[in-house]
Structure 1
Amino acid sequence: MTILVTGGAGFIGSNFVLDWLAQSDEKVINLDKLTYAGNRENLASLEGDDRHLLVEGDIGDTELVTELLKTHQPRAILNFAAESHVDRSILGPEDFIQTNILGTFRLLEASRDYWMSMADSQQAQFRFLHVSTDEVYGTLTPDAPPFSEQNRYEPNSPYSASKASSDHLVRAYHHTYGLPVLTTNCSNNYGPYQFPEKLIPLVIHNALQGQALPVYGDGQQIRDWLYVGDHCSAIRRVLEAGTCGEVYNIGGLNEKANLDIVGLICELLEEMAADNPHAKSAENPEGFKGLITFVKDRPGHDRRYAINADKINSELGWTPAETFETGIRKTLRWYLDNQAWVERVVSGEYRSWLEKQYA
C-alpha cells in the first residue's frame, strides 16, 4: 500500500510524513517543488528509509504526476502543496494563482484519469484529500460564532482567494465526475519545521537574535491556533473515516490575539532561554518584551478567525490533544534545540524579504 503526498517537504506536509511513518509502514511518495519553504532537511531522519521517496517536482507537471501515479499506484493522494503566506501573496499574487489554482486543477485532472483507470473495487477505496485553510471564510466580528462548514466563502487576500478557488475545484470534481474527495479547512498551524516568516517562528527567531518583534497594527487580530501534530492526527482520521464529498473544519480551540501570542513567547523565553543576552537583566529590565515593535498593518488584514470543530468531533471522534500552553512549549523547545536548522533556512533572500515587508 502506498500514498502520494504533495508538498511533503514543507511545514505541515513534512510533519505529516514524519508522523505517518512513525505509525505506519505504508510507503509515502513525496512530491515537492522544493521552493524556499520546502526543505529536504525536514525529512533528514528518513534518509535511507525505503518507505519514503522524495521526488522534486511540481503538482502542475501533469506528465510527472501521471508517471508517479502509474508507477506507484497509490491508494490515496493528500494535497498539501500550496503557496501559503498572505504577506507574500499581497506582494506577488501570481505564484499563488499558478500553484494553488492551476496546480490543483492539473493535479485533479491527473488524479481523475488515474482513478478512472482503476477496477471498481479500487475506485471505491481511493481518496483525494485536499488540505485547505479557514481563511477562505473571510473574517469574523468579535462576537460572531466560529466558522462552521456551512459558512459561505468570503476570501479577502490573494492567498485565501486562491485557496477558495482550489476548494471549489475539488468540490466540482466530486459532484461532476464522482472523484472521491475530502477537504479539510484548518486554523493557524504552529510547531516544528515552520519557516520563520510566520508569526510564531519569526518572533522566536528575532527575539533570540535581539531583533525587533514586528506586530501589525494594534496586535488585536485574533486567530485560532492549532498545533501541527494535532492537525496531522485530524487528517489521518479524515482519510480513514471521512465521508466522500464532505468538508471537515479542523481547529485548535485556542483563540488568541497576536499581541498576546508575542507576549507569551517573550515570557516563556525568559524562562527557557534565560542565558540569552537579550533576556531580562539589570541592564535590560524589559527583556524580550522590549523588542516588541508595532508596524503598519497589512492591507485587508482579517480581524478574527475561529473554527467550529463540532463536525469532526461528533462524526469522526477527533479533538486536539494539545492546549496552546502545551503546544507552544513544545514548539519553543524544538526551536531552541534546533537553532542550526533555523540558521540554514534563514537565507539572504529571506532577510531581504523581511526588510521589505516590515520597513
Structure 2
Amino acid sequence: MSARTLLVTGGAGFIGARFVTNHLARHPRDRVIVLDALTYAGNLGNLPEDAVRAGRLEFVHGSVRSPALMDALTARADAVVHFAAETHVPRSIVDSLVFLETDVLGTQMVLAQALRHRGRVQRVVHISSSEVYGSAVTTPMDEEHPLDPCTPYAAAKCGADRLVSSFWHTYGLPVVILRPFNNYGPGQHLEKLVPRLVTSALDGEPLTVHGSGAAARDWVFVDDTCDAIERVLEQPAADVAGEVFNVGTGVATDVLTMARKVLALAGRDESLVAHTEERPGQVQLHLAATKKATERLGFDAQVGLDDGLARTLAWYREQRARWEPQRWMRSVPVVDGEGRFTYW
C-alpha cells in the first residue's frame, strides 16, 4: 500500500490517540494530521512524541466546526477518520447543546469538506456509537437494529450517524460508519465507568453502581476498536463504502459483575460496592452482533474481558500521576426537572 496522509479528528482523545499511535507503528510510511480542540478529555500526552520528532505526526489545535481550518486540512488528506465528539452521557443531560454543536454540526463540516475535496479524499470513517440503538429490542443487536437513542448524547450521535449515511446516498461520498460498543482500556478519562471503578478500587474507595447494576454492556478493549478501523481502511472502497459495521465482542457483562471483577483484580472486598439511584436514560442491554464485521472485514475482537481489565488496572496502578488530576471529574452534577442536583 502506498504512503497515505490521514486526517484524524479528535485524535488526542482516548480512542483517537490510541488509533494514531497504533496506526503509525503499523504503517511506517504514513503520516497523520491530528485535529483536536483539546477539551477536558483531550491530552497531547496521549500522542507519540517520537512520531512528532520524525515529522510523521502533525498536531493542529482547533475545532472541526471551523470551515477554513477543515478546508485546509482536508485538502491534504487521503482519508479522514472522524472521532471528534462530546461523548459522556451524564454531561449531555446537563448541557445537550454542546453535544449537538460538536457531534452533529462538527460532523456536517467534516462531510462537507470531504465532499469538496473528494478528488483527494478516498474514504471517510465515522466513529459512531452503539448508543444510537438504545436498549436491545432483539439480541444480538445487528446493524439493522432499530435506532432509538435514549439520551441527548445518544441522539446527537444518532443524528451524526444518519447525516454520514445521507452523504453516501445523496453524493456517493465514500463513507463508512463504525458503531463501537463500550470501549475501555489504559488511559481512558476517569468520567467513564471502567476507569472510575478501577481508580476507586485502587484507592479503597466505594465503587458506585447505579441501580441494581443489572444494566449490561458489550465491553470492547480499545486496541480491538483500533484494529477494526484499520481493517476498514485496508478494504477496497467498493467493498465498504456506505456500510455500517458493529465493533463488539458478542458478549455482554453487567455493571455489578464488572465492579466485582475490578475489586478482585485489585485485591479488595466486594463490600466496597455502593448502589445509588438508577441513571436517567439508562440503557439496560447492549450486545453486539459481530457476524458482519467478521465476514466483511475479517475482524474479531482479540482481547477478552478479564485480560483487558487486568491490563487496564495495571496501567492505572503504574500511571497515577497521569490520572490523579482527573479525580474530581469522576462524577458529574445532573439537575433534574425540579432543580435538584444529583451526581452521576
* TM-score under structure 2 length normalisation: 0.92
In the TM superposition, residue 353 of structure 1 has moved relative to its aligned partner by: 3.4
Count of aligned positions:
330
Aligned to 2:242: 245
Say which SS state the counterpart of residue 146 (structure 1) adopts: coil
Question: CA contact under 8 A between 1:227 and 1:252: conserved in structure 2?
Answer: no
**Taking structure 1 as reference, are residues 133 and 106 closer, same or farther at Cα in structure 2, changes over 3 Å only?**
same
Question: CA contact under 8 A between 1:254 and 1:324: conserved in structure 2?
Answer: no
1:67 and 2:72 matched: yes
Q: How far apart, CA to CA, are the structure 1 residues paired with 2:249 and 2:20?
A: 20
Q: How far apart, CA to CA, are the structure 2 residues paired with 1:316 and 1:42?
A: 28
5 Å-filtered alignment, 1:126-145, equals: 126-140=122-136, 144-145=138-139
Among residues 234, 243, 257, which one is paired with 2:254 in the alignment? 257
Among residues 146, 149, 152, which one is paired with 1:152 in the alignment? 146
Aligned to 1:87: 90
Q: Aligned residues: percent identity?
A: 38
Among residues 293, 296, 305, which one is paired with 2:277 in the alignment? 296
In the TM superposition, residue 54 of structure 1 has moved relative to its aligned partner by: 1.1
5 Å-filtered alignment, 1:200-215, equals: 200-215=194-209
Among residues 90, 95, 100, which one is paired with 2:103 in the alignment? 100
In the TM superposition, residue 291 of structure 1 has moved relative to its aligned partner by: 2.1
Question: CA contact under 8 A between 1:214 and 1:358: conserved in structure 2?
Answer: no
Q: How far apart, CA to CA, are the structure 1 residues paired with 2:126 and 2:190?
A: 24
Say which SS state the counterpart of residue 308 (structure 1) adopts: coil
**Taking structure 1 as reference, are residues 351 and 189 closer, same or farther at Cα in structure 2, changes over 3 Å only?**
closer
CA RMSD of aligned residues (A): 1.7
Q: How far apart, CA to CA, are the structure 1 residues paired with 2:295 and 2:17?
A: 28
In the TM superposition, residue 300 of structure 1 has moved relative to its aligned partner by: 1.9
1:210 partner letter: G
1:353 partner letter: V
In the TM superposition, residue 213 of structure 1 has moved relative to its aligned partner by: 1.3
Aligned to 2:332: 353
Question: CA contact under 8 A between 2:196 and 2:330: conserved in structure 1?
Answer: no
* TM-score under structure 1 length normalisation: 0.88
In the TM superposition, residue 160 of structure 1 has moved relative to its aligned partner by: 0.7
Question: CA contact under 8 A between 2:252 and 2:287: conserved in structure 1?
Answer: yes
Q: Deviations over 1:128-175 (max 9, x none)?
A: 11001111111026xx31111111211111011100100111011111
Q: How far apart, CA to CA, are the structure 2 residues paired with 1:257 and 1:343?
A: 27
Unaligned runs of 5+ in 2: 335-340
Aligned to 1:190: 184
In the TM superposition, residue 331 of structure 1 has moved relative to its aligned partner by: 1.1
Unaligned runs of 5+ in 1: 271-278, 280-286
Q: How far apart, CA to CA, are the structure 1 residues paired with 2:250 and 2:271?
A: 29
In the TM superposition, residue 351 of structure 1 has moved relative to its aligned partner by: 6.1
In the TM superposition, residue 34 of structure 1 has moved relative to its aligned partner by: 0.4
2:301 partner letter: P
Aligned to 1:333: 314
